[in-house]
Structure 1
Amino acid sequence: MTTTPSRRQGAALAAALLSVTLVLSGCGEESTSDDAGTTTAATRTVTADNGPVEVPADPQRIVTIGNTTLPLIDMGGKPVGVTEVGASELGLIPQEQKATFEAATTLGASGDQVDMEKLAGLKPDLILAQLPDTEFEQIKKQLESVAPTVFWGLDVEWKELADGLSQAGNVAEGLSGQKAQFQEKIATIQKTYSALIADTKFVNLDRWESSDPGTFSVADFGCVEIAQGDLGMNFPKAAEGADPLGWTSLPFEQLAELSKYDVITYPVDAAGQPKAPFAPVVATNTWKALPAVKSGRALGVFCPGNNSYGPVLQYLDSLGTALATLPAKG
């Protein structure tokens, strides 16, 4: 880990310091070299949706706004200021991560409600933000007047966000371990269930608290994106450029049309019970009559989130456990 050189008095020593530029891992680093030949990075340049930003090489007082909070904490970061996170999300993260979140100063309910005076009072040396572009534009100048600000829009892929946060927040060590676990779990599932993945038609269902009564969705976003993209499992998904399938609410009567799929996945909580919004689906006679349900091929899978590696690793564990319960094809 690199550190910022301490301030020393004396014009002679100050004159002896030479500023050099290094390129490390695709990021420019501004460094200083003392007369003993020791080089210490002071800043680095990272590039995000708001362009190249010069940030401290080893930031000590990070503020996270919007969706950057839990991913940074997941990688071992300890922000001093945060925006609010819903109780349901906090309930899904490990206790030590929750404690880290609660130790930080809350700056507002969301990015567009940040208390700028309180933010400035924290004296951050780095601000990390992911929120809608329109919200960021409203507060961009204010944030940048307080500290270097690195911004990502909502369309950034989760792995790219994780890489960006690790570079800007200097938490690459935590990320590298998570990446290794991710690759290992992906390889294990692909090897163990290669034939199943190649020959099975899956469908992923979901339902949310905001869903209209008597409706469900064929969901093609969230954790199922890992099953599709990284594992190569055959789930329905929207055509390129079209709205996600999950945006369309379907009446319970259309559950019968799922008979053409070999395996159904649906959301469960950490205890393995159908998530509360989805419970009305499994209570219907139409659901119970589905061939996949009657044959034990409806799998409850736990997805605590898909915006950083920690929750995704939990999803892969749950998916692997669920696939192991599938009966052999008759």
Structure 2
Amino acid sequence: MKRLKSLVVLGVTIATLGIVTGCSGNSNNEDSNKKEETRVVQSVKGEVEIPADPKRIVDISGSSEELVLLGHTPVATANVDSYETDKVPSYVEDKLGKSKVVGHSMMDTMDIEAILASNPDLIIMAPRQEKIYDQLKEVAPVVMLKDEANDWEAKLKDVAKLFGQEEEAQKWLDSYYTKAKKLGDEIKKANGDKTYLTVLASQGQFMVFTEGGIGTILKDDMGLPQPANMPKQDGITLPTVTMEGLTEIDADHIIVIATDSDKADLEKSTVWPEIRAVKEGNVTILDASPYFSQAYNPIGRELLLQSIKDEVVK
């Protein structure tokens, strides 16, 4: 009988040890799994440990279209229409319409309370928002991306690198450039060697997209020629010319991005009808919203390819 009791006690002891050991083993496995579910990435602020597959991304850097292309729709965004800053651009409403707007990506501060309410597991920001960096890193891991200025392609590659999706990004870029060249060739075949000028109308003057925005779609991506008298661009600042300056540039076709007010100014102008491209009927006028900022983002840029072709080939 004593021997039986001893065996029972021994069995219970072994079972108890097994449970403890099993729990300990599970804990180690869980810790190991947690480590496997994160990755260390490089940011402007140095190395940052982020979730390997974040589910609730808040993007205030202006990279929301890049994220969407890579399959990471943010729960909150600062990618807004430049003229209606409380909403995302109309051309991406189907993709970003449910994302909470928490600010304007070109601004240095955001709606911190709205970011908190979004319960992020990753925040992506730009150097211009550095003054709120310390606040945000208490909420979730924060990656500060390099400011790539007008280099939209470099920005896409930077975002892809965060998630190890460089090949996916390159595949999209290859497809984009193939499409751009094809449509550019179609325009040249239809219109010959016309030169193209793209400008933003602004209170009687014009900001020229020499090396930025929609201008680079036509010049670099589609391979369409610019006029010989293009003003030089200094950094990211677009050069500005008067109405008379447009005459001196003397483009065969002018694409104007304008608000309703600026359109009205053009209609009232006595100089505008005398510009050669206007006289010849080779002018395309696009709404400032959403076309002004569309070319700085990949989804918008791709959509513009067909829009440009449809507008300049009649």
Q: TM-score, normalised by structure 2?
A: 0.71
Q: Distance in 2 between matches of 1:171 and 1:93?
A: 24
Q: Distance in 2 between matches of 1:285 and 1:275?
A: 19
Does the 8 A contact of 2:204 with 2:242 survive in 1?
yes
Secondary structure at 2:247 match in 1: helix
Distance change in 2, residues 1:49/1:145 (3 Å): same
Distance change in 2, residues 1:165/1:100 (3 Å): farther
Q: Distance in 2 between matches of 1:261 and 1:93?
A: 29
Q: Distance in 2 between matches of 1:232 and 1:64?
A: 33
Q: Distance in 1 between matches of 2:28 and 2:262?
A: 67
Distance change in 2, residues 1:228/1:13 (3 Å): same
Secondary structure at 1:96 match in 2: helix
Does the 8 A contact of 1:77 with 1:169 survive in 2?
no
Q: Distance in 1 between matches of 2:185 and 2:305?
A: 14
Does the 8 A contact of 1:262 with 1:292 survive in 2?
yes
Does the 8 A contact of 1:47 with 1:53 survive in 2?
yes
**What per-residue deviation string (whole Å, max 9, x for no partner) do you get for residues 230-270 of structure 1?**
22333365547x3567342x333444324x32222222xxx
1:261 aligned to 2:259?
no
The within-5 A match list for 1:86-235 is 86=81, 87=84, 90-101=88-99, 104=100, 106-107=101-102, 112-116=108-112, 119-120=115-116, 122-130=118-126, 132=128, 135-136=129-130, 138-156=131-149, 157-168=151-162, 178-179=172-173, 181-194=175-188, 199-207=193-201, 211=202, 213-220=203-210, 221-235=212-226
Does the 8 A contact of 1:301 with 1:319 survive in 2?
no
Q: Distance in 2 between matches of 1:202 and 1:235?
A: 5
Secondary structure at 2:98 match in 1: helix
Q: CA deviation at 1:301?
A: 5.2
Q: What is the letter of the counterpart of residue 304 of structure 2?
A: Y
Secondary structure at 1:72 match in 2: helix
- Percentage of pairs with the same residue: 22
Q: CA deviation at 1:312?
A: 0.6
Q: What is the letter of the counterpart of residue 276 of structure 1?
A: D
Q: Which deviates more, 41-50 or 288-297?
A: 41-50
Q: What is the letter of the counterpart of residue 300 of structure 2?
A: P
Secondary structure at 2:207 match in 1: strand
Partner of 1:276: 260
Q: CA deviation at 1:305?
A: 0.7
Q: Distance in 1 between matches of 2:88 and 2:103?
A: 16
Q: 1:285 aligns with which of 255, 270, 275?
A: 270
Partner of 1:22: none
Does the 8 A contact of 1:53 with 1:148 survive in 2?
yes
**What per-residue deviation string (whole Å, max 9, x for no partner) do you get for residues 171-191 of structure 1?**
889857754652342131243
Q: CA deviation at 1:306?
A: 2.1
Q: Distance in 2 between matches of 1:324 and 1:54?
A: 50
Does the 8 A contact of 1:266 with 1:299 survive in 2?
yes
Secondary structure at 1:100 match in 2: coil
Does the 8 A contact of 2:57 with 2:121 survive in 1?
yes
**What per-residue deviation string (whole Å, max 9, x for no partner) do you get for residues 28-64 of structure 1?**
xxxx59xxxxxx9412333343344332110011111
1:294 aligned to 2:279?
yes
Distance change in 2, residues 1:173/1:100 (3 Å): farther
Distance change in 2, residues 1:13/1:309 (3 Å): same
Partner of 1:11: 24
Distance change in 2, residues 1:149/1:197 (3 Å): farther
1:312 aligned to 2:301?
yes
Q: TM-score, normalised by structure 1?
A: 0.68
Q: Point out where structure 2 has 5 or more consecutive residues left out of the alignment.
A: 1-21
Partner of 1:328: none
Distance change in 2, residues 1:152/1:17 (3 Å): closer
Q: Distance in 1 between matches of 2:73 and 2:300?
A: 18
Structural RMSD (CA)? 3.8
Q: Larger % of strand: which?
A: 1
Q: Distance in 2 between matches of 1:144 and 1:116?
A: 12
Does the 8 A contact of 1:166 with 1:172 survive in 2?
yes
Secondary structure at 2:53 match in 1: coil
Secondary structure at 2:197 match in 1: strand
Secondary structure at 1:145 match in 2: coil
Q: Point out where structure 1 has 5 or more consecutive residues left out of the alignment.
A: 1-8, 20-31, 34-39, 268-273, 326-330
Partner of 2:10: none
Q: 2:73 aligns with which of 72, 78, 81?
A: 78
Please identify the structure whose Cα radius of gyration is greater.
2
